[in-house]
Amino acid sequence: MRYVSEILFEHMKIGMLLCDRNVGLTSEEIDVFSQLLNIPASVTSSALKDLVAHGIITAKFGDNHQLHYVGTEYGGYFFQKLCSVNKDAASVHNVVRGLIYEADDS
């Protein structure tokens, strides 16, 4: 049960990462953030598939013909509501936001 809980938590981190950005990320860029969040590459790959399947994120081709993952309006709403009722989710969201702001500043 603990293993399943950890995987769901890691999926949540990746979803938050994508739903907090205005621009999409390639899978390579997501891998960099995942390493910073201590998420294994195998979990990142399955998380992207699951998040697309649930409508939290979507996959689009960018101008450079690379696949980009982007948070959906539903995904943003989902994480906003989740963080408003769950203090642990809000805490994780703050950590993810910190990584996003650090990356955007560099």
The pTM of the full predicted model, rounded to 2 decimals, is 0.85
pLDDT at residue 22 in the model: 76
pLDDT at residue 104 in the model: 67
Q: Label residue 2 by pLDDT band (50, 70, 90).
A: low
Residue 52 lies in a domain: yes
List the CATH number of the domain containing 41.
1.10.10.10
- Alpha helices by DSSP H, listed for the chain, are 2-19, 27-36, 41-53, 73-85, 87-105
Residue 105 lies in a domain: no
> How many domains does the structure of the chain reveal?
1
Q: Label residue 3 by pLDDT band (50, 70, 90).
A: low
Please check the confidence at residue 1 and state whether its pLDDT lies above 60.
no
Q: What is the C-alpha to C-alpha distance for residues 29 and 19, in angstroms, rounded to an integer?
A: 14
pLDDT tens column, 31-69: 999 998 899 988 999 999 999 999 999 999 878 888 999
Residue 104 lies in a domain: no
Please check the confidence at residue 82 and state whether its pLDDT lies above 90.
yes
Whole domain around residue 67: which residue ranges? Answer: 2-98
Residue 77 lies in a domain: yes
